[in-house]
């Protein structure tokens, strides 16, 4: 996966490039808006981290211009501008996500993973129904069953179950879950994720499927031993 970083702060840019390279991403960088726009319009990248206050050409204008030619490209704004008006302007200009400096790297990483995952889902036919063992989830109807017995789940519990079902063959990190559950102006932290996992475990009791914690990594669905 290739990530493009448009950031004029050399210290931050170097830190981002180093951290993301360690995670296995191929990275490219531009320090001004004109260069960023030219590269984004001519090169193939999988996602963009874009600062607003770029020299040469404002980041919002870069965003608008790139959106004309690449409407589906995942773009995350990373900026010190933190007012509600700034957030609205960035999202209205075409950003998929908005993160304010200073930030924690695990949150940025989780948001990048969520952007890439949503992009992959948008590019491929989405199954209307997810299954694992005796569990079944109707995405469109937002309902879930264990065999034929409906599960009484809250909206957050349904979201969590959908995340785990969609990644049933792999571990999902706590940060990844927090990033996907965050939305509508509400940030979901690690402690809240633990609460939702605990509640979902109780609701799945007797279904033959449990949520297993993988120490130091995250969670995954697992068939319970009879």
Structure pTM?
0.56
Report pLDDT for 216: 80
Query: Parallel, antiparallel, or unpaired for β 143-146 and 135-138?
Result: antiparallel
Residue 201 confidence (pLDDT): 93
Q: What is the pLDDT of residues 173-208, one digit of tens each?
A: 888 888 888 755 567 788 888 999 999 999 999 898
For residue range 97-143, what is the model confidence (pLDDT) as tens digits? 999 998 998 889 888 888 887 766 554 445 578 888 889 999 888 89
Q: Walk me through the domains of the chain, giving residue ranges and CATH numbers.
A: 2-123 (3.40.50.2300), 129-223 (1.10.10.10)
Contact 72, 84 (CB under 8 A): no
Query: What is the maximum alpha-carbon separation in the chain?
Result: 64
Centre a 10 Å sphere on the Cβ of residue 186 and count the other Cβ atoms it contains: 9
Res. 28: pLDDT tops 50:
yes
């Amino acid at each position: 996966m290739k990530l493009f970083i448009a950031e004029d702060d050399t210290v931050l840019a170097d830190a981002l490039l180093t951290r993301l390279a360690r995670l296995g991403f191929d990275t490219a960088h531009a320090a001004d808006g004109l260069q960023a726009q030219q590269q984004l319009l001519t090169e193939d990248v999988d996602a963009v981290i874009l600062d607003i206050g770029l020299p040469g050409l404002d980041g919002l204008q870069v965003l608008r211009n790139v959106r004309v030619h690449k409407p589906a490209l995942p773009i995350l704004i990373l900026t010190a501008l933190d007012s509600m008006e700034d957030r609205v302007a960035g999202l209205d200009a075409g950003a998929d996500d908005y993160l304010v400096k200073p930030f924690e790297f695990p949150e940025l990483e989780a948001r990048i993973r969520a952007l890439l995952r949503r992009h992959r889902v948008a590019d491929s036919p989405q199954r209307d129904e997810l299954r694992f063992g005796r569990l079944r989830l109707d995405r469109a109807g937002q309902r879930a069953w264990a065999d034929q017995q409906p599960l009484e789940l809250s909206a957050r519990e349904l979201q969590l179950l959908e995340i785990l079902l969609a990644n049933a063959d792999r571990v999902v990190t706590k940060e990844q879950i927090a990033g996907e559950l965050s939305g509508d102006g509400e940030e979901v932290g690690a402690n809240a994720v633990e609460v939702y996992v605990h509640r979902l475990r109780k609701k799945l009791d007797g279904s033959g499927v449990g949520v297993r914690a993988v120490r130091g990594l995250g969670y995954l669905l697992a068939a319970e031993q009879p």
